[in-house]
Amino acid sequence: MAVTKTPIPANSFAVQVRELSKWFGNFQVLNRIDLDISVGEKVVICGPSGSGKSTLIRCINQLEPFESGRLHVHGVEMSGARKDVQMVKQQIGMVFQHFNLFPHLSVMENCVLGPMTVRGLSRRQAEDVADHYLARVRISEQASKFPGQLSGGQQQRVAIARALCMEPKILLFDEPTSALDPEMVKEILDTMTDLARDGITMICVTHEMGFARQVADRVIFMDKGQIVEVNRPDVFFKIQSNERTRQFLANLVR
Amino acid sequence: MSSGTYRPEPLLPLTYCQSEPHPPAPPPLVDRGCFNWLRRNLFPNWRQSLLSILIFSLLAGTAWHLARFLLVDAVWWGDTGEACRPSDGRPVGACWAFIADRYKYFIYGSYPLDQRWRVNTFFIAGGLGLAYLLWPRAPFRRLGLTLVIVALPLTGFIFLSGWDAVGLPDVPTNLWGGLMVTIVVAAVGIATALPVGILLALGRRSHLVIVRWLSIGLIELPRGVPLVTVLFMANTMLPLFLPTGLNPDKLVRALVGITFFAAAYLAEIIRGGLQAIPRGQYEAASALGLGYWKTMVLIILPQALKVAVPNIVSINIGLFKDTSLLLIVGIFDFLSTIETARIDPRWAAPTISTTGYAFAAVVYFSFCFGMSRYGALIERRLSRDHGR
């Protein structure tokens, strides 16, 4: 399904960022970010807290406005015509650190809400889609429960299913395992690894270096609002050309 | 200042490996007997026991006095005040004969006799509507809710005031009175104030400056003045703002005043509920591609209103009681009909006023307590539905 009026060539970019800068008051949180992410690529963004990695991916789906620079998603300028932007936004799914499920809706309602109201599916169709993705994250049996009745790991899997129900082309993960008990981290990482086998573009902010090593096509290291180092994971974890990256990795337990 | 430090005896081994898990045990027995409850809660020691006895005797004394006035010495039958006058020296309590004689006036006011079936129909429809609201698994709940809460009061108002086109003769609102006015005003007030309050609450949080300022004005102005002032304003000034020739009915004017007054308070309560919703909910809705109104209607308001239910019920109870202020703009609500009837010379007797007020208290209390219980029911139902 093409997003823009002209179909996207197979080799084109999912996300293109040019000279993107953003300030919170006087504090510059992103400083001239340049980044290209290909369609279907799995990218892990890591870096110390406050380095701007979450802000960067929140800019990609317009949760945060940015002051200067350009951002294209699937070839569409994200500060352009509202209708095009809305169309592209539908193609970007997001998984949050704190799940952000809708507590007043059951798991199934959480999953069918977007498809029904935004994609315009009938309830029947939306429930079929939801069934499919809830099975995909292995949580079908909880469909009639409410988020408050589930464990953190289960909630995050529902959140992933909810994002998938919009059948996005790009999935953004904002520290999806940081709020979870250690026992539950693995079930989420396994789910994400499983998803990575599809053609979907994945951009993950995470500190799970094992996941980065195993799944990522490229690892991006950010510090102080800038991209410091980008490399293939096998190279990234072996030789770091930047001193700051070396320090960061040395301080990680894993 | 003990010399030795505490040491558990005997000391636990420093290393340990469980060979077999403990079987689950039943919870310790708590004596739930009535006698034990009394002893634990009312008579745990002599000081508490003394206090309990003192309070109970005070309560019992009050209850006895009330019962004697309201029931034992009460006069149940009679056609005039004669029946309730203490002629033979016996004590005379509440004069229920007076209420029995005038109850139609208390309910309908001066509504024409041959048109009172309309009021009865409205009451029956209202009763059915309430029963429907109390039925948790009713079919078409969402549609029914809107019909009962919004459509019923509004169509009821038109039905009662008359519509020549459908053959219902006009009944001018100055003939309305009694409990019927109180109920209609409260129901229409609640039905209109809640949506207005929601809009004002959203408006006050809007990024559009004009909308925000307007909402702040419409919230702070009625909140800053007494309801009496708002009613006077609505009564005398509303016609000045409207084009000439358009002179709304007195009751409608009062309703507009009451609605804005209640809406202002409701708006602040709902705004409080809105502030309780974490930012993540907005972000999740935005990430799904929901726009402002869909986010509000489907995600934010259901949660915010749930938080606000106890306070919304409070405001609605207040609104019900505030209808008694309608007297000052010349509308005969329930309390005013009692005021009028108690000075009727035909029913001149010493306890008439007290009886009238006691009756008013009972009626107001049953409605308000009913609303309070209904609010509690909604809270329970919401928390159960949300799986908490």
Domains contained in chain A, number = 1
Task: List, in order, residues 6 or more apart from B375 with CB less than 8 Å away.
Answer: B309, B310, B312, B313
Residue B236, pLDDT > 80, answer: yes
The DSSP call for residue B330 is T
The CA distance from A158 to the nearest CA of chain B, in Å, is 13
Residue B235, pLDDT > 60, answer: yes
Q: B340-343: long-range contacts at Cβ-Cβ below 8 A with a sequence spacing of 24 or more?
A: B341/B98, B341/B102, B341/B105, B341/B106
The CA distance from A244 to the nearest CA of chain B, in Å, is 32
pLDDT at residue A164, as a whole number: 95
Residue A217, pLDDT > 50, answer: yes
Report in angstroms the alpha-carbon separations of B179 from A64, B104, B176, B364, B366.
Answer: 55, 10, 10, 10, 13
pLDDT at residue B8, as a whole number: 60
The CA distance from A84 to the nearest CA of chain B, in Å, is 12
> What share of chain B in percent tops pLDDT 70?
96
pLDDT at residue B3, as a whole number: 54
Tell me which of A60, A82, A95, A100 to substitute to probe the interface with B (most B C-beta atoms closer than 10 Å).
A100
Task: Round to whole Å and give the CA distance between B188 and B200.
Answer: 18
Summarize the confidence of residues B315-335 as an average pLDDT. 90
* pLDDT digits 0-9 by tens, A86-116: 888 889 999 999 999 999 999 999 999 999 9
- Element holding A13 (H helix, E strand): strand A13-24
Q: Do B387 and A149 touch (CB under 8 A)?
A: yes
Q: Which of A243-252, B2-11, B148-157, B337-346 has the lowest mean pLDDT?
A: B2-11
pLDDT at residue A157, as a whole number: 94
Burial (Cβ within 10 Å: 0-12, 13-18, ≥19) of residue B15: exposed
* pLDDT digits 0-9 by tens, A4-18: 334 444 458 899 999
Q: Residue A37: which domain range?
A: 13-251
pLDDT at residue B275, as a whole number: 94
A169 and chain B in contact, CB less than 8 A: no
- Element holding B282 (H helix, E strand): helix B279-287
Nearest CA in chain A to B294: A117
Task: List, in order, residues 6 or more apart from B323 with CB less than 8 Å away.
Answer: B181, B182, B185, B186, B189, B258, B333, B334
pLDDT at residue B366, as a whole number: 95
Do the domain assignments include residue A7? no
Residue A254, pLDDT > 60, answer: no
Task: Round to whole Å and give the CA distance between A158 and A97.
Answer: 13
Average pLDDT over chain B, rounded to an integer = 87
Residue B102, pLDDT > 50, answer: yes
A162 and chain B in contact, CB less than 8 A: yes
The CA distance from B109 to the nearest CA of chain A, in Å, is 45
B306 and chain A in contact, CB less than 8 A: yes
Residue B103, pLDDT > 60, answer: yes
pLDDT at residue B317, as a whole number: 94
Q: Which residues in chain B touch residue A86, judged by CB atoms under 8 angstroms apart?
A: 289
Summarize the confidence of residues A41-70 as an average pLDDT. 92
* pLDDT digits 0-9 by tens, B249-281: 888 888 888 999 999 999 999 999 999 999 999
Task: Round to whole Å and give the CA distance between A36 and A19.
Answer: 12
- Tell me, what CATH number does A204's domain have? 3.40.50.300
Task: Round to whole Å and give the CA distance between B235 and B241.
Answer: 11
> Which residue is it, tokens 């306890």?
B351
Q: Which of B29-33, B167-171, B295-299 has the lowest mean pLDDT?
A: B29-33
DSSP-derived pairing of the beta strands A201-205 and A218-223: unpaired
A78 and chain B in contact, CB less than 8 A: no
A212 and chain B in contact, CB less than 8 A: no
pLDDT at residue B5, as a whole number: 67
Summarize the confidence of residues B85-96 as an average pLDDT. 82
pLDDT at residue A2, as a whole number: 38
Residue B342, pLDDT > 80, answer: yes
Summarize the confidence of residues B86-115 as an average pLDDT. 86
Task: Round to whole Å and give the CA distance between A158 and A108.
Answer: 9
Summarize the confidence of residues B352-369 as an average pLDDT. 93
- Domains identified in chain B and CATH numbers: 106-111+171-385 (1.10.3720.10)
Q: Which residues in chain B touch residue A162, judged by CB atoms under 8 angstroms apart?
A: 288
pLDDT at residue B177, as a whole number: 86
The CA distance from B374 to the nearest CA of chain A, in Å, is 20
Summarize the confidence of residues B354-363 as an average pLDDT. 93
Q: Which one has a higher pLDDT value, B36 or B49?
A: B49
A24 and chain B in contact, CB less than 8 A: no
Residue B1, pLDDT > 50, answer: no
Q: A77: which strand partners?
A: A72
Tokens of B354: 């007290």
A93 and chain B in contact, CB less than 8 A: yes
Give the angle subtended at the CA of B44 by the CAs of B41 and B48, to the nearest 5°: 90
Summarize the confidence of residues A217-233 as an average pLDDT. 93
B249 and chain A in contact, CB less than 8 A: no
A149 and chain B in contact, CB less than 8 A: yes
Q: Which residues in chain A touch residue B299, judged by CB atoms under 8 angstroms apart?
A: 102
Q: Are A58 and B257 in contact (CB under 8 A)?
A: no
* pLDDT digits 0-9 by tens, A157-216: 999 999 999 999 999 999 999 999 888 899 999 999 999 988 899 999 998 999 999 999
Nearest CA in chain A to B283: A63
Q: Which of B30-34, B79-83, B230-234 has the lowest mean pLDDT?
A: B30-34
Q: Do B290 and A114 touch (CB under 8 A)?
A: yes
A14 and chain B in contact, CB less than 8 A: no
Nearest CA in chain B to A85: B289
pLDDT at residue B7, as a whole number: 63
pLDDT at residue A135, as a whole number: 94
Q: Which one has a higher pLDDT value, A125 or B142?
A: A125
Q: Do A113 and B298 touch (CB under 8 A)?
A: yes
The CA distance from A248 to the nearest CA of chain B, in Å, is 29
pLDDT at residue B385, as a whole number: 64
